[in-house]
A and B are shown apart, each in its own frame.
Chain A
Amino acid sequence: EPEVTQTPSHQVTQMGQEVILRCVPISNHLYFYWYRQILGQKVEFLVSFYNNEISEKSEIFDDQFSVERPDGSNFTLKIRSTKLEDSAMYFCASIRIGTGIETQYFGPGTRLLVL
């Protein structure tokens, strides 16, 4: 069964450094998402992406964050200057059409630790 994959599984970085989290959505899916989960807290929506542009973003997704689909398969989340509070599990998700009636498929996540 097709899966959403994410790399790396774990990343440790110093505060102020840039990080890029990578995702490969399911191949025929058209809508892509990033969510994050701070330890012990709810999964929170960050951003959705369709047709090479952001569809929706939350208050969390400020100027430090950006997303890109650099080629036909990868979907990336960049954090330009990491802060301690960016430490979290970051999940990528995708759905095929985005009609609101489909299951969202999540990747296994990238655990980011900012020191």
Chain B
Amino acid sequence: KQEVTQIPAALSVPEGENLVLNCSFTDSAIYNLQWFRQDPGKGLTSLLLIQSSQREQTSGRLNASLDKSSGRSTLYIAASQPGDSATYLCAVNSGYSTLTFGKGTMLLVSP
């Protein structure tokens, strides 16, 4: 059974810092991995999707990497802003597009 773990559970940084969020998964047989953003009490916004054959994906200040063999992914956020404050969820697709989620990293970026 696929298990997804995210560390740290919470992170607080001053505005402007670059930061890395980590995700690990136990079964490397995945189709893809998605990073989501969740604001308090809200839905999930997809940030990046990396296919199993890819090593990284970039969107603006976000860069996600994938090392399938070691079961790891990272989300790099450059020049963080207070508006980046949210919970970031990692989810892996192991088949039929059913996603298995981590518990998330709660990020606070202070002005």
Contacts and interface: CB of A to CB of B under 8 A. Distances in A.
Interface in A32-77: 33, 35, 41-45, 48, 55-56
A42 B102 contact: yes
Given A41-B103, A104-B46, A98 B97 contact: yes
Interface in A72-111: 89, 91, 95, 98, 100-109, 111
A89 B36 CA distance: 16
Contact of A42 (B93, B96, B101): B101
A44 B42 CA distance: 16
B49 interface: yes
Contacts of A91: 43-44
A45 B99 contact: yes
Interface in B40-75: 41-46, 49, 51
Interface in A15-31: 31
A100 B46 contact: no
Nearest to B49: A103
Kindly state the interface size class of chain B when it binds its partner.
Answer: 20 to 34
Contact of B46 (A55, A98, A103): A103
Contacts of B95: 100
Interface in B76-104: 89, 91, 93, 95-104
A45 B91 CA distance: 11
A13 B36 CA distance: 30
Interface of A: 31, 33, 35, 41-45, 48, 55-56, 89, 91, 95, 98, 100-109, 111
Interface of B: 31-32, 34, 36, 41-46, 49, 51, 89, 91, 93, 95-104
Given A100-B31, A102-B49, 11 more contacts: A33-B97, A33-B98, A43-B101, A48-B96, A48-B97, A100-B97, A102-B97, A104-B46, A104-B99, A105-B46, A109-B42
